[in-house]
Every structure is written in structure tokens, then in C-alpha cells.
Chains A and B, each alone.
Chain A
């Protein structure tokens, strides 16, 4: 079946460090892939998405490339800020109505 696996957290980095949060998936066909972010005490916000192989989603300095050959959608940012501290969720959808399959989430802590 379909599934999403994310690296376990928490991930703790210093401000201005390079960030990678790994995400791999299992799915048949060509799913759409998403990264959502959840700031403390808030709901989920779409961070970026990619709908086909080799697409790169980007937003707020974050990037992720849809790699079909490695079934991955790793999230990266060149220089993190304290305000990036949040929980990040990777998800996939194979449904036109976008029912999502979610990873467990990765908590990111950025220290000044």
C-alpha cells in the first residue's frame, strides 16, 4: 500500500545551518507529494508541493525535488532561522480529491 516515511526527530540545528529532512514514499503510479508545516499551537499549512517527477517545489527558502528513481522528496533549506522551528510533515496523494497519506512528522528545533 501507500506509505510515507520521514526521518525521526527532533532535529536540532543552530541558526544559519543547512537543513535536510528526509522523506521517502511507497506508492504505485505517480503520486503528488507535499510538505506541510505546523507551528506550535497552530494548524497545518501547505509549505510546498510537487505533482510529477523531477518537479521542484519551493517556498520561504525551502525546496524539495520529486525523485521518482529514489522515491524521495527530501526537504532542504540553505540557512535556517529560529522562526523555522516547527513540525514538518511529508505527505502523498494519489487521489484527485487529495486524500493524503501522512508521514509521522519531524520536529525541527532551531537554536539561536
Chain B
């Protein structure tokens, strides 16, 4: 049972570099989302998607892009990494009231 799979688990970037966090789910869920987790702030929604071809902004979208070409995949792109984007990133999918989280991606921007 793979569930929600995120890669990479750990990444160090230099300021200005770009990268993509991958997220895939094998449960055929329509709804997927990306959160970031920062100390003392809980989780904040970055972007979400209600189905293939449809994405929308969450609470903190600046500096991030997403796309949803298939139901399974929902990658998050950092366009030009900044130290403020140092965080733990969680991908999630949801269905009928239950949210399934990936194991997280720890990103450090130096």
C-alpha cells in the first residue's frame, strides 16, 4: 500500500536554484494539496488541486508553482529558492473526509 509518496525526503539548495518536489498517489483521489510546516505555525496550504488539469492557490502560494497533468501526480516547483522557503513540505490527497499525507520532504535553502 504505497499511499502518498514524496521525493526527495531531504534536499539542500542554494539560493536562486530551482527544484521540483515530486508527489504521487495510487488511490485515484481527485483532491491533492501541498502544505509547508514551519515551527510554531502549524501547516499552511500552498496549492491544491481538485482534479487533473485544475489547480488553485492556497494560503502561501508565492514562489511555488504546481501542475496536475494526471490524477496520480502533483509536483511542486520552487522557481528560485530563497532561505524563507526552508521548511518541511507535505503532499496530501483526500477522499470522503480522510486526508492522507506523504512522509514529508525536508528542504534547506542556504
Contact = CB atoms under 8 A, between A and B. Distances in A.
Contact of A43 (B31, B40, B58, B103): B103
B1 interface: no
Contacts, number: 47
Contacts of B98: 46, 98
A43 B42 contact: no
B99 A98 contact: yes
B107 to A, nearest CB: 15
B75 interface: no
B41 A98 contact: no
Contacts of A51: 97
Q: Is the interface of B mostly helix, strand, loop or mixed?
A: strand
Given A46-B99, A51-B97, A99 B33 contact: yes
B87 interface: no
Contacts of A4: 42
Interface residues of A, number: 20
Interface in B17-47: 31, 33, 40-45
A102 B50 contact: no
A28 interface: no
A44 interface: yes
Interface of B: 31, 33, 40-45, 48, 50, 58, 90, 94, 97-99, 101-104
